[in-house]
């Protein structure tokens, strides 16, 4: 708990600009709600764990530290969403199905982050990619705003997301491959060198499907999962060690453990600064939308 408090205070001290505690940023907000967002957000992800952390206490620390925008993600967010809404926070819930989006709306969230099957990390169990999922969100969320997450790296993607009805995009993997990302250069280079086929899905057997960078360890985990006679999670658990994954980021030994990446690795070819990246995405999206608009010929000129 105190680590979270320290981290929030550290970020507050570092910048007055928008900050989030997962590798995510939203671009191109166009709804009134999104333009009014406070500038500092925290993500709280609720995951299945052998010894579950005290999520209620995390939520209390977030509120106590004066954070006013929170992204929730994962299983059964109801109790923490209530804590945040009682404290007048703006709550964004990230999920991979329309069913879960509608439940989150009932719980009072302000907007959604719709995470397609392309995404890094927890892809859910429905395997619906964003072309369908975003369209369904537009059709089904009764006007509640949403941003698009999973598979975005450039302005073409942003333009597509806006066309499908999203208010903006959330990017995870793309921001790993920036100058500022606090991970080893060899990890960034591995992303640049990778193709869209270089991710591995694991943990489907335990209904916790996760997309990882394809390396020796994730391939081994997938093999153990497939071949295990007992189906006991303990057989795969040592390979899934988060501690070894963190070492990959620090030491740059790509095959030391498992680490998260999305299919969007196939679209990432450089390591820009965040500033350059965001400006480029905005420029590309404007060009793409203008080019698309120019395809329309007024009826009277036909």
Ligand X SMILES: Cc1cc2nc3c(=O)[nH]c(=O)nc-3n(C[C@H](O)[C@H](O)[C@H](O)COP(=O)(O)O)c2cc1C
Q: How far is the CB of 228 from ligand X (least distance, A)?
A: 26
Which of 83, 130, 149, 210 contacts ligand X by CB under 6 A?
149
Q: How far is the CB of 249 from ligand X (least distance, A)?
A: 8
Q: DSSP character for 271?
A: -
Which of the ranges 6-14, 19-27, 48-56, 101-109 carries the binding residues for ligand X, by CB under 6 A? Answer: 19-27
Q: How far is the CB of 20 from ligand X (least distance, A)?
A: 9
Which of 96, 208, 260, 288 contacts ligand X by CB under 6 A?
260
Torsion of the alpha carbons at 98, 57, 170 and 106, rounded to the nearest 10: 30
What x/- string results for residues 55 through 84 when contact with ligand X is judged by CB under 6 A? ------------------x-----------
CB atoms within 10 A of CB 40: 20
φ, ψ (nearest 5 deg) of residue 116: -75, 165
Q: DSSP character for 182?
A: S
Rounded Cα distance, 53 and 51, in Å: 6
* Two structure tokens written together for 227: 């071949």
Q: Tell the burial category of 14 from Cβ atoms under 10 Å away from its Cβ (0-12, 13-18, 19+).
A: exposed
Q: What angle do CA 116, 218, 157 make, to 5 degrees?
A: 25
Q: Which is nearer to ligand X, 235 or 255 (CB)?
A: 255
- Measured CA distances, 62 to 11, 18, 209 (Å): 13, 16, 28
Q: How far is the CB of 230 from ligand X (least distance, A)?
A: 29
- Contact flag: residue 121 with ligand X (CB under 6 A): yes
- Contact flag: residue 124 with ligand X (CB under 6 A): no
- Contact flag: residue 94 with ligand X (CB under 6 A): yes
Nearest Cα to Cα of residue 111 among 85, 98, 93, 134:
93
- Contact flag: residue 210 with ligand X (CB under 6 A): no
Q: In which element (H, E) is residue 100 found?
A: helix 98-106
Q: How far is the CB of 266 from ligand X (least distance, A)?
A: 10
DSSP-derived pairing of the beta strands 111-115 and 169-170: unpaired
- Contact flag: residue 23 with ligand X (CB under 6 A): yes
Which of 7, 11, 12, 45 contacts ligand X by CB under 6 A?
45
- Contact flag: residue 245 with ligand X (CB under 6 A): no
Which of 95, 133, 162, 171 contacts ligand X by CB under 6 A?
171
Which of the ranges 165-173, 226-234, 266-274, 282-290 carries the binding residues for ligand X, by CB under 6 A? Answer: 165-173
Site residues (vs ligand X, CB under 6 A): 22-24, 43, 45, 73, 94, 115, 118-121, 149-152, 170-174, 176, 260-262, 264
């Amino acid at each position: 708990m105190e680590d979270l408090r320290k981290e929030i205070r550290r970020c507050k001290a570092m910048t007055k600009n928008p900050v989030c505690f997962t590798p995510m940023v939203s671009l191109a907000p166009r709804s009134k709600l999104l333009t009014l967002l406070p500038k500092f957000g925290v993500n709280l992800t609720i995951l299945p764990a052998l010894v579950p952390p005290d999520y209620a206490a995390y939520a209390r620390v977030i509120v106590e530290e004066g954070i006013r925008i929170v992204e929730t993600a994962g299983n059964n967010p109801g109790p923490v969403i209530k804590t945040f809404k009682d404290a007048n926070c703006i709550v964004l819930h990230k999920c991979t199905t329309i069913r879960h989006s509608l439940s989150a709306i009932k719980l009072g969230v302000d907007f959604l982050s719709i995470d397609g099957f392309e995404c890094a990390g927890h892809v859910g169990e429905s395997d619906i990619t964003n072309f369908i999922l975003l369209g369904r969100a537009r059709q089904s969320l009764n006007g509640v705003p949403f941003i698009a997450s999973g598979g975005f790296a450039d302005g073409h993607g942003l333009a597509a997301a806006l066309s499908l009805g999203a208010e903006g995009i959330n990017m995870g993997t793309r921001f790993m491959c920036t100058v500022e990302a606090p991970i080893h250069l060899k990890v960034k280079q591995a992303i640049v060198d990778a193709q869209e086929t270089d991710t591995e899905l694991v943990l489907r057997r335990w209904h916790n499907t996760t997309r990882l960078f394809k390396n020796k360890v994730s391939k081994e985990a997938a093999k153990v999962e497939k071949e295990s006679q007992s189906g006991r999670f303990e057989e795969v658990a040592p390979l899934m060690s988060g501690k070894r994954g963190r070492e990959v980021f620090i030491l740059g030994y790509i095959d030391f453990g498992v680490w998260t990446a999305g299919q969007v690795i196939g679209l990432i070819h450089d390591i820009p600064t965040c500033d350059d990246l965001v400006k480029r995405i905005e420029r590309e999206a404007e060009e793409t939308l203008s080019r698309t608009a120019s395809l329309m010929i007024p009826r009277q000129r036909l």
